[in-house]
Amino acid sequence: MSFDRGSVSRRSLIQAATLAAGWNSLAKPTGSAQNTTPLPEELVIDLAGGPDNLDPALARSVRDWSIVHSIYDSILDLGADGSLVPLAAERFEMLDDLTFEVVLRENLAFHDGNPVLADGIERSIAHVQQSEGPAAQNFRVIERVEVDDDLTARIVTSQPAPWLPSQLAVWMVLFPEGTTPDSFETAPVGSGPFRFVSREAGDHILLERNPDYFSPSAKGQPLAERVRFRFVPESTTRITDLAAGAAHLIDSVPQDQARAVVDGGGKIVEAPVLGTSFLRVVNDVAPFDNPLVRQALNHAIDAETIGAALVSSEVRRLASLPPDERAIGFDADLAPFAFDPDRARELLAEAGLADGFETRLQYTGGGVDAVMQAIAANLADVGITVSIETTELATFNGSWQDPDSAPLRY
């Protein structure tokens, strides 16, 4: 079961659409009238949870990236329309099928005062390749980095990889020599628009404006002298914080609580985002090793109604993971499973499970509790009793291939 999130849904935003893009969340366009207005002392952002990793190679979530890309810059950035634009790079060019050339901007500096040089590109790529992060396998297509001079490097791949630049924009951030796994988490140093100040586990991370950040930058310029990311798991508390002025931005607003935000004087912005939410069903654990059971689950869940009611009015049911023609592997001829609980019961009976069965569904929180309850209710209607479990994102991702983990994962 999968559906397209035509608008920000799991991460609906208050008063700033750019937070969904993570690294753009704390910047304003250069050259705007705001440039002459004194910056507010502190911007407070309530997140649904703390970052699971500040190591850029291990970052997996929007809240990770919101903080990581405020501290660090990559050579490239993703523009508002999803296109790639130069960031720390003055120029980025594909010389041939296997070679990308990067020329860095002059006079860039890390927060510790050291210059940003081309050897940092080699250092960053090696870090991702040697990590256990989500991009490690993709980065292994990079055969070597040739450093030509202080500002110029060539990235050479073992095979054509036209998709690589978009991966570089997200995971290949620049950091100084001497950075360690511990310092990524406790004292990160980058070259981005904000500098790390402090971290209180389970409570907040405080950043301050980098006064030496270059302009013009594709990210824009800092919106405040300081930004405090607070970790507030309860959506009602985040909404209360916003209404009371204790927070300026909040994330992960459940659709059924959106009215409370507006009534409290806030504003919800849904920015168009192409993406897929899905319920993973294992196929090597009984009874899900039977394709009839997997088909039954697809017919049992009313994805479109759940999505429209609890996520976004833009949600639509998908036939496969690629959401539309912009995604590799999309097949316009495929039709999604119809919501048909009677057919689901027939398939379960055919699989020898007419009396139903019990199973587990695991997710990571983030404002989708009502979605999980709705999915469980749909499955219960056809005889499948679901035990719902919530876990931290790092644990969730780390146990993805654990045979003892929940057979259903969202």
Are 281 and 340 within 8 A, CB to CB? no
CATH number, domain of 346, equals 3.10.105.10
**For residue range 334-344, what is the model confidence (pLDDT) as tens digits?**
999 999 999 99
- Going by the DSSP 8-state scheme, the letter that residue 36 receives in this structure is G
Q: Do the domain assignments include residue 187?
A: no
Pick from 178, 209, 229: which residue ends a domain? Answer: 178
Q: Do the domain assignments include residue 217?
A: yes
Question: What's the distance, Cα to Cα, between the start and end of the chain in Å?
Answer: 10
**For residue range 345-390, what is the model confidence (pLDDT) as tens digits?**
999 999 999 999 999 999 987 668 889 999 999 999 999 999 999 9
Domain count, the chain: 3
Residues 379, 233 share a domain: no
Which helix (H) or strand (E) element contains residue 396? helix 393-398
Q: Do the domain assignments include residue 25?
A: yes
pLDDT of residue 37: 53
Residues 93, 66 share a domain: no
CB neighbours of 268 closer than 8 A, spacing ≥ 6? 12, 13, 14, 253, 258, 261, 262
Low-confidence ranges of the chain (pLDDT < 70): 1-39, 271-273, 366-367
Residues 365, 396 share a domain: yes
CB neighbours of 209 closer than 8 A, spacing ≥ 6? 39, 193, 194, 195, 222, 224, 225, 226
CB neighbours of 81 closer than 8 A, spacing ≥ 6? none
Report how far residue 366's alpha carbon sits from residue 250's, in angstroms, rounded to the nearest whole number.
12
pLDDT of residue 391: 86
Per DSSP, what are the bridge partners of residue 86?
76
Listed as own residue / partner, the contacts of 40-43 with beta carbons closer than 8 Å and 24 or more positions apart are: 40/223, 40/224, 40/225, 41/224, 41/225, 41/226, 42/224, 42/225, 42/226, 42/227, 42/228, 43/223, 43/224, 43/226, 43/227, 43/228, 43/248, 43/249
Residues 89, 164 share a domain: yes
Q: Where in the sequence is the domain holding 201, given as residue range(s)?
A: 11-72+192-270
Residues 84, 59 share a domain: no
* b (16+ CB within 10 A) / e for 256-275: ebbebbeeeebebebbebeb
Pick from 178, 213, 229: which residue ends a domain? Answer: 178
Does residue 40 have a cis bond before it (omega within 30 degrees)?
Answer: no
Q: Do the domain assignments include residue 184?
A: no
pLDDT of residue 19: 26
Tokens for 300, please give them: 């049992």
Does residue 287 have a cis bond before it (omega within 30 degrees)?
Answer: yes
| Among 410, 399, 313, residue whose Cα is nearest residue 368 | 410
pTM for this predicted structure = 0.73
Pick from 270, 297, 326: which residue ends a domain? Answer: 270
Residues 168, 201 share a domain: no
pLDDT of residue 164: 95
Report how far residue 17's alpha carbon sits from residue 12's, in angstroms, rounded to the nearest whole number.
8
Residues 216, 143 share a domain: no
Q: Do the domain assignments include residue 17?
A: yes
Report how far residue 67's alpha carbon sits from residue 56's, in angstroms, rounded to the nearest whole number.
10
